[in-house]
Structure 1
Amino acid sequence: MAKLARWCFQHRWLVLGLWVAALVGLAALGRATGDDYKDTFSLPGTDSQKAIDILERDFPAQSGDSATVVLHARTGTLTDPAIKAQVTDMVGQLAKLPHVAEVISPFSADGKGQINEAGTTAFATLALDLPGNELQISDIEHVVDTARDYDKGALQVEATGQVVANTEQTTSSTELIGIIAAAIILFVAFGSLLAVTLPLITALAALGVGLNLIIQVSHLTSVAEFSTMLATLIGLGVGIDYALFIVNRHRIGLRAGRSPEEAAVNAVNTSGRAVLFAGATVCIALLGLFALGVTFLYGVALAAALTVAMTMLSSVTLLPALLGFYGQKVLSRRERRRIAEHGPEPEAPSGFWWRWAKGVERRPAVLAVLSAVAIAVIAIPFFSLRLGSSDLGNGSEDKTTKRGYDLLAEGFGPGFNGPFSLVTDLSSGAGLQALNQAVAAARDTPGVASVTEPRQSPNGRAAIATLYPTSSPQSPETAKLLDRLRDDVIPTATAGAAAPVYVGGITAIFEDFAGVLSDKLPLFIGIVVVLAFILLVVVFRSLLIPLTASVMNLLAVGAAFGAVVAVFQWGWLSDLFGLSPGPIEAFLPVMLFAILFGLSMDYEVFLVSRMHEEWTARRDNRIAVSLGQAETGRVISAAGAIMTLVFAAFILGDERVIKLFGLGLALAIAIDAFVIRTILVPALMHLFGRANWWLPRGLDRVLPRVSVETSDDLAEAHQVPVPSDDYRDGVPAQPHESAESERTH
């Protein structure tokens, strides 16, 4: 690391040029190729996937995109001549628009059943000639605007459907808000405007390269639309934090009298190593998503891991080059003037963080219990977690899709927005008997509002019937109905049939998705925890520290899940966030766990690596823990505040999924930085004593030697004076006094 840092410092113009060239070149390439983001996934072996396969083969119209125009009579009924004339004229205008292949009016022969019994609510269906991701937003907006122009007088007109929802996604300035908040905290921490720009430039350069690389990755594999937003969220947070840790170490070196080059080399050789270990843990956690076997998450994991990798690379290459340009100006004018007048000032623990560390040392048991109980209370809602998928009904009331969704639910029943599809394959020569039997049995099943008559595909190779539940798509009763249909009703009704009847539809797809992820979640958590545990054992030569870190990270994740459930599922403060309560997205637990487990390891590595320096130099657990906490407390709290605010800024975004990630990540990082790393972990390490650093001799011999500290750092740590309140009978505590009593092996 020292050689790399020195080379980058001495060849700073070349390094800067390479980063600028990469950024400009990849941006130009991305503009030339365009992106190919796709929100597609498959669930092999599930009923819903088998139904999709049949529909795509024999009912291409059933698997394509469409939009729904919802009509509601504010007064009277829709059959009143004046209102009916408005609707007829609107349908005619919509049919003339580009990309509208067909419009089925509720007053046409094909539209039978598209008006409710009261005659107050109806809908017109629009078949589009292209998939939603191939349509221009302006074309969809033209359709919506044309329909909404008829919303006047007694007629209310709304447009709903996923295609319409694409036009309601607004571009927000959440990233800018997060950057401004980070800049303010950096200025408070550094006291220098120039120093503030270093972490920001480093993070933004890495983010720019990473996002442009993701564009190219989207041509190689399926990458979801929201992957770039998620990558931005993670990249900004970790990029600024990683650079902050290195810049902080560099400033300490300058104040201690090192030259800018030596300070930069030392910072990268110490904090830079910690950055690589921490970043590697984040990437391991993210790439662990491949263990789930769900292709939808592969692109998301690759995008996020690629962005984190770029932040690691920029921190150990671009940052030392920038430090070469800045020289002594990384320090504030006051600090430079003080050094000129009084000479170098080696870092020594003092002030608030030393007093705080000594307070934790004096009452470790009480503080450990109180902090653990507080985290456990926040995590309680997690045990009510219900996986599923939000839909247009969870949107804000100011959106036409939300209003249209509610009108359909009120006019046709809650289950109208999430019907099931009963699908069977007739290509083997089987007739409609099995599907007819399934339909008859389903109609007599509690929780079923209605089932349409079966109809065959144009080629006669498949048949489909639509089942409407009495409950909404997000209701637990709908999930129970799905299980009852699949496990009991349909198998019993079709026993001995030549072809099975599959239950599909969008609601069934999300239930299957939740089931697949829930089944594989223990394996995923086990893989990530074990890999991170092994990495920390190698770095810190300890069994107890990695075990404690794993448990602490799980606590932080549990607290994040608890907050997410309370707000997004129970509806606490939902008005403040502009959303309606509903189930938690099925993929959120695995994604949130992967991200949070990795990010939590960041602070563990930075905190314990400093403690490990002191332990290796002094062999005194008490001094090592207190000094390590005192010397990292300020920078970890600043880093935690930055990451918390960057993540919290995304709560202000428009997409519910991003709001979920923003709240979960912000709260988890706040708890991790300000409770777990400043209270719980140091308190437990004081209670565990020398057991923290125990490693069996046999295991110590076979494990590779990987260290965050260098020999120079250990020598420096040995010289760090212990503040006066650690003196005993007026004599400073000597490192050798506890070396024998606390030597582990």
Structure 2
Amino acid sequence: MSTYLFQLGRWAYRHRRIVLGVWLAVAVLAVVLATASGGKTNDTFTIPGTESQRTTDLLKRTLPALAGGQTQVVFAVPAGRHVTDPGPRAGIDASLARIRTVPQVATVSDPYTAHGISPDGQAALVSVQWTGQPGEVKDASLDDLNVSVAPARQAGVQVEYSGSVYPGWRIVPSELPELIGLIIAFVILLITFGALVAAGMPILTAVLGVVVSLMGITALASVINIASASTTVAIMLGLSCGIDYGLFILFRHRNQLLQGMELEESVGLAVGTAGGSVVFAALTVIIALAGMSVVGIPFLTVMGLSAAAAVAVALLIALTLLPALLGFAGVKITHFLRTRLRPGHHERVAKTSAAESPRTRGARWSRFVVRYRPFVAFGGVALLLVLAIPALSMELGLPSGASKPTSDTSRRAYDLISTHFGPGFNGPLLVVTEHGVPPANAQRLATALSTQQDVAAAAPLAVTPQVAIVRVVPKSGPNDTATADLVHGLRDHRAAIEAVVGAPVLVGGTTASNIDVSQKLADALPVFLAVVVGLAFVLLTLAFRTILVPIKSIIGFLLSVAAAFGAQVAMFQWGWGRHIFGITPSETISFLPLIMLAIIFGLSSDYEVFVVSRIKEDFTATGDARGAVERGTARAARVVTAAALIMFSIFVAFMFTNDPTIKAIGFSFAVGVFLDAFVVRLTVVPAVMAIVGARIWYHPRWFERYVPDPDLEGTRLEEHMRTADRPAVRDPD
């Protein structure tokens, strides 16, 4: 593989104008397609095969008016006033009349005739049913809805919204996290290289890759449902992986130039050696992300494939566009701030940059780890296990209005409903018969359901010749465990309910759907983990041609991701980070553990490949197992530290948003990357390898015959280059 990558890098160097032109054309085409398509992401979650989804499908066929998106409009007045007073009521009635004329509105309930007035008389709850699913409701219709309530506001009535779709429900992307992350990444690269050209090149290529990926996802959003979190995850990984992959190749190339290698030969060799590690690292990330498809939930499949596509683009750019740009940069890549290399300074800088000096921090750290290897290994593992303890209390759920900041209308609506009606009114359930029944039977069903434990109210919502619907309001909130118990209890005692109504019934609605999503995700985690770990084990075994290294890598990943889970639970579920992050404690987002398993595993394999490949390279050359650990870790420490800090910074930057979901994702990724890079890969892994010694490279004899050697370290390639009679090649520019 190293030979093919060498040839690819050299070809891109020689044809750099063509390569640059092609990538710019691809970026322009992606922007044009995204603009022309008008695609937008949405947060419509479907889970085929669940009862809540069957309920939705049934309503679509028999009563489409109740199968679309739904908005709850809360009208509230201050203490001392009532919504039934002449002034507020006139404003509310005028607003309702206007809402009924809004495009795409199917039905609007009247709170004064449909028991929508709170017991204290200070709030009125209105249900607005849309003709389409949430993702199909146009922003213009939501804007008209917001304008329609002007009479109520003029009458001194507070108006807030919640539901599956409402004005302002779509997450408006902010460029601030990306900008903060890029600035921090540039500073880190500037410190690492001490050169403006070298610091800016990985960022330039990563940004171009993100533009291509993001525009492609936007174009696809016009024909398929793509969750808004998909673009965030794709940007996170596109930027971080793009910068890191460029960093690894650039670091190798620059050191080779500083050691006197010719420009074209150095570009090809950097792509052939460091590029091999990049390929295996990227493939591991892509496999982990694509593995999310095994869960069988469409929005997670799309999210995983979108992020995998962003990583694939980052990989292609690192292997083609970066060598082309290195050709344009020439020897400027070795220029330092305010100075150029002077005679005699060349070798000294090259030696330090290659992390071969015993005085570098990486060398001192590797000596410490190897010298005190038993204590270091035990201490690192103990730290991770302690941090993982809160993960034992993890509770899964999908975001609700309760988790939003108080600046969000859905949070204010949630609080108003909970205060004046009860928390269960934020997430009513729908009990639906699978064929028509007499109205009297529907009423008997509602009466029977109202006697159930944790049911605040139950009443028929609609009765048609095809279907009957009873609206059930729990006493507990939509994310409370009591509500989940109620849903499971109704389903478990289905026979008794069906005996009352005389027809088969289904339990659905938005709250039931969220409960089904969380349950399906929890059930899928073991299967997903087994698939991803199995595939990655095969890939890492192929890369290092040994069994013990992949096993060690997987154990290290499990420790780091468990610690990241624990930190997330403590900060966001237990509420330790309530004041730090400005969040309301809530359940762990149900799809976060699965995404974390995919991404942290992929990124941990990145650092495993980069560190262990340098150790194996040294061991192959010297045969000194313990010394190879010390020297290889020292050589990898500088670049892995820079790469991990860049990843960490980009993930942390995404916490500077108002969306609690994005904050939780950014925090979890940042903690996972930090722990895996610095505690596992640069501490525990070298310590364990130093303890095991040469036995870490054991492999059965049949490996030599049946398992291909990808030459990940480029040993054969470098040997060929040393023996080949190759004339020097000068930079044509």
TM-score higher than 0.5: yes
* CA deviation after TM superposition for structure 1 residue 9, in Å: 0.5
In 1, Cα distance between the equivalents of 2:441 and 2:622?
A: 78
Q: Which amino acid aligns with 2:370?
A: E
* CA deviation after TM superposition for structure 1 residue 343, in Å: 5.0
Q: Which of 5, 11, 19 matches 2:15?
A: 11
Instruction: State the partner residue of 1:730.
Output: none
* CA deviation after TM superposition for structure 1 residue 564, in Å: 1.8
Give deviations 1:360-400, integer Å, cap 9, x for gaps: 11111111111111111221111111111111121111222
Q: Is the 8 A contact 1:238 1:308 kept in 2?
A: yes
* CA deviation after TM superposition for structure 1 residue 511, in Å: 1.2
Give deviations 1:195-251, integer Å, cap 9, x for gaps: 111101111111122222323444565432331221111100110011011111011
Return closer, same or farther for 1:577/1:420 CA change in 2, 3 Å cut-off. Answer: same
Q: Which amino acid aligns with 2:393?
A: S
* CA deviation after TM superposition for structure 1 residue 494, in Å: 2.8
In 1, Cα distance between the equivalents of 2:225 and 2:86?
A: 50
Q: Which of 453, 461, 467 matches 1:462?
A: 467
In 1, Cα distance between the equivalents of 2:502 and 2:110?
A: 38
Instruction: State the partner residue of 2:243.
Output: 240
Q: Is 1:507 aligned to residue 516 of structure 2?
A: no
* CA deviation after TM superposition for structure 1 residue 306, in Å: 0.7
Return closer, same or farther for 1:149/1:201 CA change in 2, 3 Å cut-off. Answer: farther
Q: Is 1:479 aligned to residue 484 of structure 2?
A: yes
Gapped regions of structure 1 (runs ≥ 5):
719-745
Return closer, same or farther for 1:618/1:716 CA change in 2, 3 Å cut-off. Answer: farther
* CA deviation after TM superposition for structure 1 residue 436, in Å: 5.7
Q: Which of 708, 711, 733 matches 1:707?
A: 711
Q: Is the 8 A contact 1:434 1:501 kept in 2?
A: no
* CA deviation after TM superposition for structure 1 residue 339, in Å: 5.0
Return closer, same or farther for 1:476/1:302 CA change in 2, 3 Å cut-off. Answer: same
Q: Is the 8 A contact 1:279 1:309 kept in 2?
A: yes
Q: Is the 8 A contact 1:435 1:454 kept in 2?
A: no
Q: Is the 8 A contact 2:51 2:507 kept in 1?
A: yes
Kindly report which structure 2 residues correspond to 1:327-346, keeping only aligned pairs within 5 A, or say none.
Answer: 327-333=330-336, 337-338=340-341, 340-344=343-347, 345-346=350-351
Query: Is the partner of 2:528 in helix, strand or coil?
Result: helix
Q: Is the 8 A contact 2:92 2:151 kept in 1?
A: no
Query: Is the partner of 1:651 in helix, strand or coil?
Result: coil
Instruction: State the partner residue of 2:458.
Output: 451
In 2, Cα distance between the equivalents of 1:418 and 1:137?
A: 24
Gapped regions of structure 2 (runs ≥ 5):
723-733
Kindly report which structure 2 residues correspond to 1:352-371, keeping only aligned pairs within 5 A, or say none.
Answer: 352-371=361-380
Q: Is 1:320 aligned to residue 327 of structure 2?
A: no
In 2, Cα distance between the equivalents of 1:431 and 1:146?
A: 37
Give deviations 1:658-714, integer Å, cap 9, x for gaps: 222111111111111121112111111111112211111124432122221223676
Query: Is the partner of 2:185 in helix, strand or coil?
Result: helix
Q: Which amino acid aligns with 2:184?
A: A
Instruction: State the partner residue of 2:28.
Output: 24
Q: Which amino acid aligns with 2:145?
A: V
Q: Which amino acid aligns with 2:31?
A: A
Instruction: State the partner residue of 2:67.
Output: 63
Return closer, same or farther for 1:308/1:509 CA change in 2, 3 Å cut-off. Answer: same
Instruction: State the partner residue of 1:643.
Output: 647
In 1, Cα distance between the equivalents of 2:64 and 2:131?
A: 11
Q: Is the 8 A contact 1:422 1:467 kept in 2?
A: yes
Q: Is the 8 A contact 1:5 1:265 kept in 2?
A: yes
Q: Is 1:396 aligned to residue 405 of structure 2?
A: yes
Return closer, same or farther for 1:551/1:437 CA change in 2, 3 Å cut-off. Answer: farther
Give deviations 1:581-609, integer Å, cap 9, x for gaps: 22222222111211111111000000000
Q: Which amino acid aligns with 2:362?
A: W
In 2, Cα distance between the equivalents of 1:101 and 1:431?
A: 24
In 1, Cα distance between the equivalents of 2:397 and 2:336?
A: 55
In 1, Cα distance between the equivalents of 2:721 and 2:670?
A: 33
Instruction: State the partner residue of 1:406.
Output: 415
* CA deviation after TM superposition for structure 1 residue 336, in Å: 7.3
Query: Which is worse superposed, 135-144 or 540-549?
Result: 135-144
TM-score (norm 1): 0.90
Q: Is the 8 A contact 1:418 1:468 kept in 2?
A: yes
Q: CA RMSD in A?
A: 2.5
Return closer, same or farther for 1:149/1:385 CA change in 2, 3 Å cut-off. Answer: farther
Query: Is the partner of 1:166 in helix, strand or coil?
Result: coil
Q: Is 1:622 aligned to residue 605 of structure 2?
A: no
Return closer, same or farther for 1:497/1:695 CA change in 2, 3 Å cut-off. Answer: farther
* CA deviation after TM superposition for structure 1 residue 515, in Å: 1.6
In 2, Cα distance between the equivalents of 1:437 and 1:618?
A: 83
Q: Is 1:52 aligned to residue 56 of structure 2?
A: yes
Return closer, same or farther for 1:662/1:118 CA change in 2, 3 Å cut-off. Answer: same
In 2, Cα distance between the equivalents of 1:20 and 1:643?
A: 25
In 2, Cα distance between the equivalents of 1:50 and 1:136?
A: 25
Instruction: State the partner residue of 1:254.
Output: 257
Instruction: State the partner residue of 1:223.
Output: 226
Query: Is the partner of 1:340 in helix, strand or coil?
Result: coil
Query: Which is worse superposed, 89-98 or 669-678?
Result: 89-98
Q: Which amino acid aligns with 1:381?
A: P
In 2, Cα distance between the equivalents of 1:104 and 1:443?
A: 21
Q: How many residues align?
A: 710
Instruction: State the partner residue of 1:423.
Output: 432
Query: Is the partner of 2:712 in helix, strand or coil?
Result: coil
Q: Which amino acid aligns with 1:571?
A: G
| % same residue | 37
* CA deviation after TM superposition for structure 1 residue 497, in Å: 7.9
Kindly report which structure 2 residues correspond to 1:553-572, keeping only aligned pairs within 5 A, or say none.
Answer: 553-572=557-576
In 2, Cα distance between the equivalents of 1:714 and 1:3?
A: 13
Q: Which of 347, 355, 374 matches 2:383?
A: 374
Q: Is 1:307 aligned to residue 310 of structure 2?
A: yes
In 2, Cα distance between the equivalents of 1:698 and 1:498?
A: 67
Give deviations 1:119-172, integer Å, cap 9, x for gaps: 122123334455443444354234325526744686333233342253573442
Q: Is 1:180 aligned to residue 183 of structure 2?
A: yes
Q: Is the 8 A contact 1:438 1:501 kept in 2?
A: no
Q: Is the 8 A contact 1:16 1:318 kept in 2?
A: yes
Q: Which amino acid aligns with 1:242?
A: Y
Return closer, same or farther for 1:14/1:644 CA change in 2, 3 Å cut-off. Answer: same
Query: Is the partner of 2:117 in helix, strand or coil?
Result: coil
Instruction: State the partner residue of 1:605.
Output: 609
Query: Which is worse superposed, 682-691 or 75-84?
Result: 75-84
* CA deviation after TM superposition for structure 1 residue 465, in Å: 0.2
Instruction: State the partner residue of 1:735.
Output: none
Instruction: State the partner residue of 2:727.
Output: none
In 2, Cα distance between the equivalents of 1:439 and 1:222?
A: 35
Return closer, same or farther for 1:416/1:703 CA change in 2, 3 Å cut-off. Answer: same
Q: Is 1:105 aligned to residue 114 of structure 2?
A: no
Q: Is the 8 A contact 1:510 1:586 kept in 2?
A: no
Q: Is 1:594 aligned to residue 598 of structure 2?
A: yes
Return closer, same or farther for 1:382/1:628 CA change in 2, 3 Å cut-off. Answer: same
Instruction: State the partner residue of 1:159.
Output: 161
Return closer, same or farther for 1:420/1:693 CA change in 2, 3 Å cut-off. Answer: same
Q: Which amino acid aligns with 1:530?
A: G
Give deviations 1:36-55, integer Å, cap 9, x for gaps: 64544543332212211211
In 2, Cα distance between the equivalents of 1:499 and 1:704?
A: 62
In 2, Cα distance between the equivalents of 1:283 and 1:572?
A: 33
